[in-house]
Structure 1
């Protein structure tokens, strides 16, 4: 025991059945939680002690969740993050709260595992007492949690680490996490170089450096990346693209822990943590003779394979929200990823992995006309219908948008009528969630004619 109190969750929920269900599940997960049925009592408790997170319904008996949040902002110097639970009728209010700074919201009815994933992303210290829980950095999916745990354990040892995976899958993310785990204060350098981006003669100069006058154009002494990374981490990306002659020189530098600048006869001692990455099959390259076997074993003491994004779909929305927030901070704007946009992203194959996902988010933030990012802003192909009038309706971007909305409204209304306005059956027939169907019904002002 370290003597520190376990971080606690503040639950604000007036429904006794919902509250008891949540408290039971939280107890099973080892989450310390205090349950308040009124906003006033919760507000007083939050002021009195530091909660790791507030989980609150929006509709409460004494004041709304929005009123609670406004009071927290006014009374607390550093209010805890807040996650709202909302019904269909308060989705607009939840979006408004997000714009004010609330962290997230869930729409009823929600899956408890999904709620736990959101809590784990927003307040990981709630799980298992906090001290031994890893803050999600590489993702919230089970495979990436295992990768992060492995890298955290490797951080205390200076051994060769090989990170493999498809292009854009996040290999540099993993290398930076390993470096940060070994040096949380950030006192040592992290230096990255792409071995495929430089021709052989420039790659050698970049890796080992050169002396002034070593070749035409060498007007000053240049320290290579091995020297610049001394005491820290050197990340060699696309190491599988390194020419055979350079492989031999890299192996010598690793074995002897020294480098020789071009044009110099004096070796320079270096001490680096070497992390290599590739999207190629190095074992196959060894068998084919295009990659040195001795170098392979030197850099592959610890192998860290990263699965593609399509095999860890829990991470898609998690990263998407973070990319949106990074864009907001960099450009001083306030974009939000809406539920429909989140669902669209999770349905895509993402052959370009995280790199492609980030580009989609950036494009949506740049080209989107509103603050809320939906499927159209994120690159959804327009749904078109064959038949009379289709070509004329697509005469301009505005006409096309109107036409598509009319098509969507007609399809939803026909589906609802064919299923006698049963929401669950209609949503299944349309291939969307009930929450998504409710949002579209509200957007198109669709309601059953009681007559």
Structure 2
């Protein structure tokens, strides 16, 4: 199958490299030009299917590039312009002249990829998915699990976004396991937990005697992650002063320990995570734009648990197995009332809240079966609030049926005949219910 060739016109080396890397990861062929004249010459001979161009270029403007290209006899591919907020009026004018679209800085590269896919007709059709993955059974998590092995060893940096407690570090470790060098270290750093006065020493390391109390040489996070993965959690909490130093280390792949004189080469895979809107932080001046584009070559978002309720029981069963293994006890079972409560609770604390509630229940409960009251120990009034009392009975029953069918499918490895027999219904009835709840399963061989 032939690939789609696009033209990127961007003089900023960080943004240009980020755009080119991301589109290549997405399966496009990319020509990257740093000036308008070279791009114009290429447009006369190369079969581009789309052009992504900054409006401000070092020689001619993006507007001139577009108008000159449109004036030639060569068919003009769709143009998508990159612009600052101050140039939006110009971008709108270009749309009236025939340009396809524009994006304003800072922008989401993933959204730009989607725009180009629509313009070039290269949207990837949905395919049948397995009933479960290593990350979950919901469609969103199955797609992530499918994507990671393809990009883990190719992307220079990956940004994971999502609310607190959704499992961003779990995804980061999954990326590490599917990338070359998985036997090397995985170094996790909570950027918000390191005191600002120690940031440079912790990241870069220090030599003996570099400051009071430095009684020995110490390797920093960059060196500790050599050959492996450096995971920077909550990178949005890094102060601007440290952002500058981090950007330089990422660009040059060289560091100098505090108090040292010799530069050291570094080689690690960078995975960052945040629960904050980095684009908004860039807009208000609290996060460097160049660092944003350096780390945002590929962004993976982990949805909140309330947005992927299919994963709740799957996670719950995994958590109780892990807890039982740690405690050296038999794995506890769930009473149907507990499964119903788990499936319909809103989980404001996401997977972390689910794990904490189950750990407490497994430790406190002496029975081998967990009831809803073991997991939700709130008093009567609070317990009533656990279930959304505004949810109609039909919705509650549908959620319970969905969860029960998914649990049965997992137990029987997605085999439809076995699952239908266990549920006491026909294959046809099971298929109808699966279509009703949008449940995908492995077909029988």
Which interval holds the TM-score relative to the shorter structure? 0.5 to 0.7
Going from structure 1 to structure 2, the CA distance change for 1:430 and 1:342 (only over 3 Å counts) comes to closer
- Within a 5 Å distance, the mapping from 1:13-162 to structure 2 comes to 136-162=133-159
Pairing partner for 2:237 from 235, 241, 262? 241
Identify the residue that residue 310 of structure 1 maps to in structure 2: 306
| Residues 1:252 and 2:248 are matched in the alignment | yes
Query: Which residue in the other structure is 2:316 paired with?
Result: 320
Within-5 A mapping of 1:281-296? 281-296=277-292
Match of 1:298 in 2: 294
Cross-structure match for 1:14 = none
Within the candidate set 154, 160, 166, 1:163 is matched to 160
Q: Distance in 1 between matches of 2:214 and 2:349?
A: 38
Q: Give the counterpart of 2:183 among 187, 204, 211.
A: 187
Q: Which residue of 1 aligns with 2:337?
A: 340
Match of 2:375 in 1: 378
Answer whether contact 1:376 1:382 (CA < 8 A) is retained. Answer: no
C-alpha deviation, 1:429, in angstroms:
11
C-alpha deviations, 1:256-301, integer Å up to 9, x for none? Answer: 0011111101111001110000000000000001000000000000
Structure 1: where are the runs of 5+ without partners?
Answer: 1-126, 386-403, 405-426, 437-451
- 1:165·1:307 contact (CA, 8 Å) conserved in 2? yes
Native 8 Å contact 2:155 2:297 kept in 1: no
Q: Does 1:229 align with 2:225?
A: yes
Aligned: 1:351 with 2:348: yes
1:182 aligns to what SS in structure 2? coil
For normalisation by structure 1, the TM-score amounts to 0.55
Other-structure match for 1:214: 210
Q: How many residues are treated as equivalent by the alignment?
A: 267
Per the alignment, residue 197 of structure 1 pairs with: 193
For CA contacts below 8 A with separation 6 or more, give which structure has more relative contact order: 2
1:338, CA displacement in angstroms? 2.7
Task: Tell me whether 210-219 or 340-349 shows the greater mean CA deviation.
Answer: 340-349
Worse-superposed segment, 155-164 or 190-199:
155-164
In the TM superposition, residue 134 of structure 1 has moved relative to its aligned partner by 10
1:46-84 CA distance string (max 9 Å, x none): xxxxxxxxxxxxxxxxxxxxxxxxxxxxxxxxxxxxxxx
1:343-384 residue CA offsets vs partner (Å, 9 max, x unmatched): 211111111111111100101111113111111110153446
Rounded Cα–Cα distance in structure 2 between residues aligned with 1:137 and 1:252: 35
Decide whether aligned partners of structure 1 residues 134 and 205 sit closer, same or farther in structure 2, where only a CA change above 3 A counts: farther
Larger Rg: 1
SS of the equivalent of 1:274 reads strand
Partner of 1:177: 174
Gaps of 5+ in 2: 1-126, 385-392, 404-445
Relative distance call for 1:429 and 1:150 in structure 2 (3 A) is closer
Shift of 1:159: 1.4
CA distance in 2, matches of 1:198, 1:318: 34
**What root-mean-square deviation, in Å, do the aligned CA atoms of Structure 1 and Structure 2 show?**
2.9
